[in-house]
Amino acid sequence: MTVGQGIAGGKIILMGEHSVVYGQPAIALPFSKVAIQCSVDFIQGDNTVDCDFYHGKLSEAPVLLEGVRALVERTMKELGKENDGLQLRIESNLPAQRGLGSSAAVSVAVVRALYDAFKVDLTEDVLTELVGVAESIYHESPSGLDATTIASGKAVFFEKNRGKKYLPMSIDGVLVVADTGVFGQTKQAVSSVRTLWNNNPDHINPILDRLGELTMLASECLETNDSVMLGRTMNEAQALLRQIDVSDDRLEHLVEVAIESGALGAKLTGGGKGGCMIALCSTYEAANYVSQKLKEAGASNTWFYDLKEIVSHE
Ligand code: PMV
């Protein structure tokens, strides 16, 4: 019998991926078209997990579940319970490793399900901190942006070590989110930017600073409903992300097709080197056309995201 349930959506980084790791601001939006659900049953014996690619003891699970193992251990400690006798079932329609926050979403769903199972109230701060345990295993020095956005389910303006504020959203526009169909490589991308930064900080720092400025500009655009300017900031961000070598040919191609098909702006989203891109369109009609062209150009899937539907709180 299910004793606990937890659900979490994905996230989209609108602006500021990679530069956020270096203390620049970033904006991320909750993405509830895709979600992960975790349910918990109490059983006798060792913890077990059932998911798409593994059914068995959590202690013997493949490396992809290493973060979940560490997370369950830490969460049970936090709850003051023995770390055994749990059966976790994880179901998802959130594609993994596409820059949509699947690892943080799994963690949020698992922690929510465990707290629900033991009927203990869970604050957003505790949730974000616990999710950080698994994120540090999956990503190199994670900024905390994914965990913060997914745990809150709100549009977030985020600065590492400074915290977050929720963004008022009053912009007209529809994002087309397109999947290249290729696994993104966040860990490698973050570490290759770190190598570039170590080798040539004078070249990389101005790029990271400009990405930070573009995030500030984008945040103004969200407030003032300036989708044309937002599109321009996205295009400039994409050019800078290309310079720090986190884009790839497929992402570049989809970005180019989106712009040629009338998008106001387009860029990769998340860690890059595969994964997803986003294109800003002024109307659903324009977004439909862009989405069709992106599919013709090889996108494996597309989603529409009405920016007005985002939950936002002051
Ligand atoms: O690929 P994702 O969805 O995990 O996003 C990573 C975002 C980065 O800025 C590249 C890394 C980070 O820790 O913020």
DSSP secondary structure letters along 70-82: HHHHHHHHHHT--
User: pLDDT per position in the chain (314 positions), as tens?
Assistant: 899 999 999 999 999 999 999 999 999 999 988 899 999 999 999 999 999 999 999 999 999 899 999 999 999 999 999 999 999 999 999 988 888 999 999 999 999 999 999 999 999 999 999 998 888 887 767 899 999 999 999 999 999 989 899 998 779 999 999 999 999 888 899 999 999 999 999 999 999 999 999 999 999 999 999 999 999 999 999 999 999 999 999 999 999 999 999 999 999 999 999 999 999 999 999 999 999 999 999 999 999 999 987 654 43
Among the listed residues 116, 146, 226, 248, the single catalytic one is 146
Interval between CA 130 and ligand 1 midpoint (Å): 17
Q: Give the pLDDT confidence score for residue 187 in this predicted structure.
A: 87
Contact indicator for 127, 4 with CB cutoff of 8 Å: no
Beta carbon of 222 within 6 Å of any ligand 1 atom: no
146 is catalytic: yes
What is the Å distance from ligand 1's center to 3 Cα? Answer: 33
pLDDT recorded at residue 168:
80
Q: What is the pLDDT of residue 313?
A: 44
Instruction: Report long-range pairs for 225-231 (Cβ below 8 Å, ≥24 apart).
Output: 225/170, 225/171, 225/172, 226/171, 227/171, 227/172, 227/173, 227/264, 227/280, 227/282, 228/264, 230/171, 230/173, 230/264, 230/265, 230/280, 231/263, 231/264, 231/265, 231/280
- The residue assigned the tokens 């500021």 is 16
